[in-house]
A and B are shown apart, each in its own frame.
Chain A
Amino acid sequence: MSAETHEAVHRHEPPTSFIRKYIFSLDHKVIGIQYIILALVAVIVGMTMSVLMRMNLSWPGTNWPILATLFPGGAPGGVINPEFYLSLVTMHGTIMVFFVLTTAPQGGFGNYFLPIQIGAEDMAFPVLNMLSFWVTLVGFIVILSAIFFSGSASTIGPIGGWTGYAPLSALGQIAGPGQGMGMNLWIISIAIFCVGSLLGALNFITTLLNMRTRGMSLMRMPLTCWAWFTTAVLALLSFPVLLGGGILLLLDRLAGTSFFIPGGLYVSGILSGTTPSFPIHTGGSPILWQHLFWFFGHPEVYIAILPGMGATSHILSTFARKPVFGYRAMVFAIFAIGLLGFFVWGHHMFISGMSPYSAMTFSILTLSIGVPSAVKTFNWLGTLWGARIRFTTPMLFAIGFVSLFVAGGITGLVLGQTSLDLPMHDTYFVLAHFHLVMGVASIFGMFAATYFWFPKMFGRMMSERLGKIHFWITFVGVYCIFVPMHVMGLVGMPRRYAQFTEYTFLSRLHPLVVFVSVVAIITVLTQFIFYFNLIWSIFKGKKAGANPWEATTLEWTTASPPPHDNFAGVLPVVYRGPYEFAVPGAPNDFVMQTEPETETERVGGNGHNGHRH
């Protein structure tokens, strides 16, 4: 920053060249939109894969001529083969968890709105911010390349699930289809993604600690900022562990070490050490990979959902026209969830044969996360209680988030108990649980965020009519998809199986499987209404003013879309908390954070510099 900022309007002009402005941009807003576009592309890939999987599950053996054309190796004669199905499982999970659920909520909306909501002109390290996006994009390109260079004609990528359990993932080509080049690319992609996320997290934390505007104390930050901050802390501390695990796994595969590969393995008819293609391995610990993976994997769940919680709190308060119920409790609950998230990774490993004493410890810690989660849920309900709710599309999605979080979270209490988890872990019950709470709830948070902040980002409103159609079909759809899956799991349907034609005890479930697939395809198609609404509204949407929702936080004090330096050179000054709705005696039912305390202005306190009415 230069020296002439003293009492002066100090504008930063945007760069003029197209490449500097839109491609290699240093502006956090452009970078945020780039992240969102990345997620919007990645989610189409992930959804397409889930549709292919559903087709195979509900109509096994059907000849789909188009698949024969597109995937001659994976679907010879138009029938999806089991390897192809398993690689779909892997790529669907990896792309969805990393490139959708981690990029859109944090990299996308966090990048765009964290600096504006704390009254900063940009992130603390703009160049690092640009790098973190481009590194993430390289990671995405590498994971896509795993589709095309999977090392096996019959798959579209590696086989191993998004968890990539060793020793299968550590052995290399010898272990069968989907264990060749595609697995290397999978690990490399995730390592690259780790680096990108770490750079992002570093930037988020530094920005929040260092660049809050005058008067923006920690307890005056919107809950979204708390959520993004906690998420960044989780990413900062958990991604390095995955990175370390990934390095070890790659060394096992490429250098021939034995970190995760036990001795005396007999794979594909070959004993370890008897041929050059399968070198000798001794003494490695497959469970070690699970520990390293899940030490990252559990915080990752919160990395996906915390920003959704933040957005939901923010949006509920805005459209209930009431302050968030128990702001402080909400802040501590976010932090408690984040903190506890580091001590519960073992609940993913109950069936790994861990000591019952460790399992009990992990179980108790896991169940204790129910406490801050319940605090948040009841505070959301408290916010809605007795409110004159404005049922806009973002509000519907935020309420949907609460509903899905409860519906998906409640089964967490079931699965958190070792005795119940043991029989259910590898069934559709777990699949339904985590899809509801980690996948769909997070995505609902992001839908809410999109409909809510779109006017700020593009200066136009999204269509409410299309938004409501999108909401209702999606909301009913996801329940119709995932509630039956709980039942399937209780009956004993194992997850990750390509089809169930050989299991007579599951044949009675087949109509349910078909029902789920039909609803899933309808719900996926409905998402194109959202895409259409998004693109159409950028050009044709109703013009939005600076504050179309009559909200209180700083992003609504500036123009829509905000200028390059966010506040046109005059940083706002903050005088009050983020959710001052329905303040008795105030002229409007909302009081902006920049509204001074009228006559309590004190001599020697804040001048009016920077404040704009």
Chain B
Amino acid sequence: MATTVTGTKPLTKTGLGGGSKGRGPNGNGSPKRNGHRDAFFDARSAANRYRIGMWVAMASILMLFTALSSAYIVRAASANDWQPLRMPRVLLLSTALIIVSSITLEFARRKLKAGQQSAHKSLLVLTTLLGLGFLGSQVFAWKELAQQGIYITSNPHSSFFYLLTATHGAHLLGGLAGLGFLTLRSRLRTDDELAATKSQAQTDAVSLYWHFMDVLWIYLFVLLFFWRQV
């Protein structure tokens, strides 16, 4: 991208006031995009922001769970009042459901890319149902513990169990809202190429988030029941 300086006037030297020499390699619409601020470029840039925004949001959610995890590890070591819970068996079902939901959503995303609208839509609905099933299964696990008389105040492990599952569940509700949005939008048929680019980006963003929730749950599951404190 080096600029060929054909003139010799000093004015042509860029970079005097700080900043890179030569043409900027980035910035929306760097010169390599053949010079026009065209509509397709606008749409693509508008679409990209959903993916970028989602990565940024995930970084922030990751920090929340990092904070809670470090609290978990510190608290486990800070006193000898930790009584490990017996894992409610239904959590295995939860785990299976959310893994399968991730797979169905990935298929849904690919169907949209391939232009198969109806398959896309039914896979979205299936994913939503699996997500609801996951939440139901989590609530069932809470009930199972409550029946044994284990509540949030019972001991530090149960405090963290309720806290982490609830925080994860609350974030998963956001994912369900995203799925609901995609399902509603898929009812509107568009032949517009730009709108398609945008809706593909939104689907990408939601599925990114959903996979993140999936991996996050597996991590929390391992932390809660397979990580051994000394």
Contact = CB atoms under 8 A, between A and B. Distances in A.
Contacts of B36: 6-7, 607, 609
B118 interface: no
Interface stretch (A283-291, A402-410, A532-540): A283-291
B49 A124 contact: yes
Contact of B63 (A124, A205, A240, A585): A240
A276 interface: no
Contacts of B12: 597-600
A510 interface: no
Contacts, number: 256
A591 interface: yes
A206 B52 contact: yes
Contacts of A201: 56, 60
B29 interface: yes
Most buried by B among A217, A237, A571: A217
B34 interface: yes
Contacts of A198: 60
B71 A248 contact: yes
B39 A584 contact: no
Interface in B28-56: 28-31, 34-39, 42-43, 45-46, 48-49, 52-53, 56
A6 B30 contact: no
A356 interface: no
Contacts of B167: 247
Interface in A525-574: 552, 571, 574
A263 B155 CA distance: 12
A211 B28 contact: yes
Interface stretch (B73-81, B98-106, B183-191, B218-226): B73-81
B87 interface: no
Most buried by A among B15, B70, B71: B71
B3 interface: yes
Interface residues of A, number: 89
B59 A217 contact: no
Nearest to B59: A236
B113 interface: no
Contacts of B38: 5-6
A387 B75 CA distance: 57
A492 interface: no
A279 interface: yes
Contact of A583 (B17, B37, B39, B61): B17
Interface string B1-19: 0011111011111111111
Contact of B48 (A210, A263, A552): A210
Task: Give chain B's interface residue range (CB within 8 Å of chain A).
Answer: 35 or more
A285 B74 CA distance: 8
Nearest to B7: A599
A190 B50 CA distance: 28
B17 A323 contact: yes
A285 B75 contact: yes
A263 B75 CA distance: 13
A378 to B, nearest CB: 16
Contact of A578 (B18, B28, B153): B18
Contact of B46 (A1, A218, A237, A585): A1
Given A283-B80, A285-B74, A215 B27 contact: yes
7 contacts: A206-B56, A214-B27, A215-B27, A251-B163, A291-B70, A580-B17, A607-B36
Given A5-B39, A202-B56, A283-B81, 17 more contacts: A4-B39, A211-B49, A212-B26, A213-B29, A219-B24, A244-B64, A244-B67, A263-B81, A282-B81, A283-B80, A580-B17, A585-B9, A585-B11, A598-B9, A599-B6, A599-B12, A607-B36
Interface of A: 1-7, 124-125, 198, 201-203, 205-206, 209-220, 223, 236-241, 243-245, 247-248, 251, 255-259, 262-263, 279, 282-285, 288, 291-292, 295, 317, 323-324, 326-328, 330, 552, 571, 574-581, 583-586, 591, 597-600, 602, 604-607, 609-610
Q: Which 3 A-B pairs have the closest CB atoms?
A: A577-B19, A217-B24, A327-B18
Interface of B: 3-7, 9-20, 23-31, 34-39, 42-43, 45-46, 48-49, 52-53, 56-57, 59-61, 63-68, 70-71, 74-75, 78-82, 152-153, 156, 159, 163, 167, 192, 194
